[in-house]
Amino acid sequence: MSAIAAIMSGTGQTEKFQRAIKRMKHRGKERILDYQWGNQRLMAADFSRERVNRISVTGDVATPFLLFSGKLLNTDRLRKSVKDLKNRDISEDPSLILALYEDQGEAFLQELEGNYAFALYDSEKGWLIVRDSLGRMPLYISANEDNFCFASDMKGIRELTADFTEFPPGHFYSSGKGFVKIEESKKLFQSMNNEMNLQEEIRCLLLQSTESMIHGEESVGVYLSGGLDSSIVAAMTCRLMKDLPTYSVGVKGSPDLKHARICSDFIGSAHQEYAYTKEEMLDALPEVIWHLESYDAGLVRSGIANYFLARISSEQIKTALSGEGADELFLGYDYLANLSPEQLEGESERMLSSLHNTGLQRGDRMSAAFGIQALTPFLDENLIKMALQIPVTERQMPGKPEKWMLKDAFRGWIPDEVRNRKKNKFSVGAGSSRIISQVADERITDKEWEQERFSISGHPLISKEELMYYRIFREYYPEMACDRAVGHTSHL
């Protein structure tokens, strides 16, 4: 839960910048930088949960400086590659990145692991702006020379310009080169122990991932839906922490509430649950869409449940772990069973590459709305490499249940009733999807649906439910650039 923003242009942009900062205050305490030289001005900010440090400078730009959002997860290995360690403070992620840049230029980028977006300004070379490989941290940009600006949230960038795009995951932007895809490390995943079987390897990697994500965090909890993925994360974290808080939500009597309780009793977490009503869902809907920055039906449905999860947990925790990413890595969706191996290979890659517009966006935006950082142990770089090296014909096999590798690996770690539970979309398990769909059918007539079934950018809306969301979205985000920046889930 953090953010960055900047605008670089002539005079007259102060009010725009102040509005953008105001829109992003839920992401933390801001640090302001205000540099001016000649008729040029650079206004920038980053947000953190820990600090308030306003800086106002007029004159020459002190560079290089860094705006950083997120968390690096392989800092121990990165520090070993820094030169002259004794005379440099590299205890924090931003100072480590600056040291690596000074030593290696752009070459260090392919070695970074974690969830991050950062912008480094060098008075000699200009900007170096980077987003992690999956787009775990959000970022939008306008690279227009007349109005160069960027911001972590759509709600922030639209205050700076009406012409922007989403910053592509796994890329960097430099003033000299424009957008460049970061070359992936050529290193293949190598087994930590040749005597381990596949299930042991999965457990080891996930445990390491979970440990690295909670390292240095003071208050950690788990969003526990009672499905396989979140239950595994909760069970793992319970072995690393005492008195782990877990949270579940849904309508009264929903499957998620029941199975989350069963899992919590089994692993011994300090569990809280909240049953929301139809009225509460509808009251929260505008705020959900405002924070979510999307009208996609699948994303809004599950975003409603995520919103209530973040709300009930925000008084106790600042970091939340979730099971996001397991379905994409271990092929957990029902429709995948109908695909050929070739189609499955392509779909596996597509699902991972679109997470920044789907599950990761939902997790980040809904958690950030309440000051919480969302982290995803399944999306650790090493676990991703290992999973993708397993042929899709083994990750999904005839006669075996979906995600059979995970189910085998965590036998005994979670209750069998939860381990063997059929995959449900978050919104289905929480009970919100059916209710909200019925409301849309009541509110929107067939004639209205026929007249309004395309967005202003020409994207076809899939249902009356999505039209209901789109109308709210347009109230907050009327610009064409906002409409075009929305990603879409393939399967409800």
Amino acid symbol at 188 = L
Which of 38-47, 173-182, 271-280, 455-464 shows the lowest per-residue confidence on average (mean pLDDT)?
38-47
User: What's the pLDDT band for 208 if we cut at 50, 70, 90?
Assistant: very high
Cα distances (angstroms) measured from residue 246 to each of 189, 255, 263, 320, 343: 32, 16, 10, 9, 37
Rounded Cα distance between 219 and 318, Å, is 6
So what's the pLDDT on residue 435? 86
Domain 3-181 in CATH 3.40.50.1000: no
Distance of CA 164 to the CA centre of its chain: 20
pLDDT of residue 54: 44
- The amino acid sitting at 491 is H
pLDDT at 263: 98
| Count of Cβ atoms closer than 10 Å to residue 461 Cβ | 19
Proportion of the chain above pLDDT 70, given as a percent: 91
- Share the mean pLDDT of the chain: 90
Tell me which of 56-70, 270-284, 364-378 is least confident: 56-70
Mapped onto helix, strand or coil, the DSSP state of residue 251 is coil
Q: Which of 402, 419, 49 is nearest to 234 (CA)?
A: 419
> Among 34-48, 95-109, 129-143, 159-173, which stretch is predicted with the lowest mean pLDDT?
34-48
Asked whether the predicted pLDDT for residue 225 surpasses 60, the reply is yes
Residue 227, judged by CB atoms within 10 A of its CB (0-12, 13-18, 19+), counts as: buried
Q: In terms of pLDDT, which residue wins out, 365 or 492?
A: 365
Mean local confidence (pLDDT), 294-323 = 96
Query: Comparing C-alpha atoms, which of 55, 94, 184 is closest to residue 132?
Result: 184
> Is residue 40 over pLDDT 90?
no
User: Can you tell me the distance from the alpha carbon of 448 to that of 87, in angstroms, rounded to the nearest whole number?
Assistant: 67
Q: What percent of the chain has pLDDT over 90?
A: 76
Q: Give, in order, the Cα–Cα distances in Å from 343 to each of 53, 332, 338, 404.
A: 51, 15, 9, 20
Average pLDDT rounded to a whole number, residues 393-405:
92
Which residues in the chain are classed under CATH 3.40.50.620?
Answer: 198-485
- 433-465 residue pLDDT tens: 788 889 999 999 999 999 999 999 999 999 999
Q: Which uninterrupted H or E stretch holds 431?
A: none
Order of strands across the sheet with 270-275?
Answer: 270-275, 245-250, 220-223, 319-321, 373-375
Structure tokens at 126: 């200009």
Average pLDDT for residues 49-68, to the nearest whole number?
64
Residue 486, SS3 per DSSP = coil
Higher-scoring residue by pLDDT: 427, 451: 451
Beta-strand pair 126-131/114-122: antiparallel
Give the separation between CA 359 and CA 322, rounded to whole angstroms.
10
pLDDT at 491 over 70: no
Query: How far apart are the C-alpha atoms of 467 and 488, rounded to whole Å?
Result: 14
The class (CATH top level) of 198-485 is alpha beta
How far apart CA 446 and CA 453 sit, in angstroms, is 10
Tell me the backbone φ, ψ of residue 234, rounded to 5 degrees.
Answer: -65, -45
61 confidence band (pLDDT: 50, 70, 90): low
pLDDT value at position 183?
A: 86
Go through the chain and tell me how many residues it has. Answer: 492
User: What is the per-residue pLDDT for 433?
Assistant: 75
Confidence of residue 194 (pLDDT cuts 50, 70, 90): low
What is the reported pLDDT for 21?
A: 94
- Under a CB-based contact definition with an 8 Å cutoff, are residues 313 and 247 in contact? yes
The tokens 């030593």 sit on which residue? 103
Question: Whole-angstrom Cα distance, residue 85 to residue 100?
Answer: 11
What is the pLDDT, as a whole number, of residue 475? 98
**Which region among 85-89, 111-115, 259-263, 438-442 has the lowest average model confidence (pLDDT)?**
85-89
- Up-side HSE of residue 83: CA atoms within 13 Å toward CB? 6
List Cβ neighbours of 235 (8 Å cut-off, separation of 6 or more).
Answer: 263, 267, 410, 413, 414
Dihedral through CA 102, CA 122, CA 47, CA 209, nearest 10? Answer: -30
**pLDDT band at 50, cuts 50/70/90?**
low
Phi, psi of 44 (to 5 degrees): -145, 160
Name the band, by pLDDT with cuts 50, 70 and 90, for residue 282: very high
Cβ 409 vs Cβ 202: under 8 Å: yes
Average pLDDT over every residue of 268-288? 96
pLDDT at 28 over 60: yes
Mean pLDDT of the 136-141 span = 98
**401 in Cβ contact with 420 (< 8 Å):** yes
Distance between CA atoms of residues 208 and 380, nearest Å: 9
In the three-class reduction of DSSP (H, G, I as helix; E, B as strand; rest coil), residue 458 is classed as coil
pLDDT for position 190: 56
* pLDDT for the residue numbered 25: 93
**Exposed, middle or buried, 434 (CB in 10 Å: 0-12/13-18/19+)?**
exposed
Look at 149 and 57; give whichever has higher pLDDT.
Answer: 149
Where residue 203 falls among pLDDT bands split at 50, 70, 90? Answer: very high
Q: Give the largest CA-CA distance in the chain.
A: 71
> Looking at residue 286, what is its pLDDT?
98
